[in-house]
Structure 1
Amino acid sequence: MPAEGSDLIMSARAELVTAEDPYFRGIDADASLPHWMTVRPLASTNPGGPHIVDFAGGRGWLIYTFIRRHAEPQIVVTEAFWA
């Protein structure tokens, strides 16, 4: 993966780990994220399941699942794509 895509993926991951609500529930729930990324559930019927992050104007995406743990929350990335 090119450095530009890799850098965006690492930045997106950092934003997700520090998000107040990593499930991004509700309207405009991702308003606090940088302008270059948006988050939504992968399936609207499973809002607590996998989510997709679109970034760089649709040039790439990241599919992840958030695992809530008290001491150390964890983001599990199942797919990363950069065009």
Structure 2
Amino acid sequence: MTDPFMGPPWQADWVQAARTYRDALPEHVRKEITNGMAELVTARNPYLPQDELPPGSYLEPARSSRPKGPHILGFDHGRGWLLCTFVRRVDDPQIIVEEIFWQ
């Protein structure tokens, strides 16, 4: 049984509204987002990197009924999250960040 190629590296693509919101956040929050995303884009299988995420971060499906659908990457010990979708392609796999929130 062969292991289908899923990555790395994944390419991170940000929806414009999410990128604008991210860029307006304080520096320490942007650093936490960058650290969490760095682990996702280098993961062989981004659906299961829990042990590879930085402390205070987590990854879970947005809906338990769709385990391979959109995912939520929580950061800053639950104070923020971003909604991302994994587009699995052999040539150019992508992680699309659709929404971001921090409080």
TM-score category, normalised to shorter length: 0.7 to 0.9
Bigger fraction of residues in helix:
2
Alignment correspondent of 2:46: 22
C-alpha distance in structure 2 between counterparts of 1:33 and 1:5, whole Å:
15
Q: Which has the higher contact order (CA 8 A, sep 6+)?
A: 2
C-alpha distance in structure 1 between counterparts of 2:68 and 2:35, whole Å:
22
1:19-72 residue CA offsets vs partner (Å, 9 max, x unmatched): 121122xxxx51222222111100000011000011111111111001112122
3-state SS of 1:62 partner: strand
CA RMSD of aligned residues (A): 1.4
Whose radius of gyration is greater, 1 or 2? 2
Alignment correspondent of 2:31: 7
Give the one of 49, 63, 74 matched to 2:83.
Answer: 63
C-alpha distance in structure 2 between counterparts of 1:75 and 1:57, whole Å:
22
Contact 1:17 1:73 in 2 (8 A): no
For the pair 1:80 / 2:100, whether they are aligned, the reply is yes
For the pair 1:33 / 2:53, whether they are aligned, the reply is yes
The number of residues matched between the two structures is 79
Return 5+ residue gaps in structure 1 as ranges. Answer: none
Name the TM-score, length of structure 1 as normaliser. Answer: 0.83
Superposed displacement of residue 81, structure 1: 1.2
Percent of pairs with identical residues: 46
Return 5+ residue gaps in structure 2 as ranges. Answer: 1-24
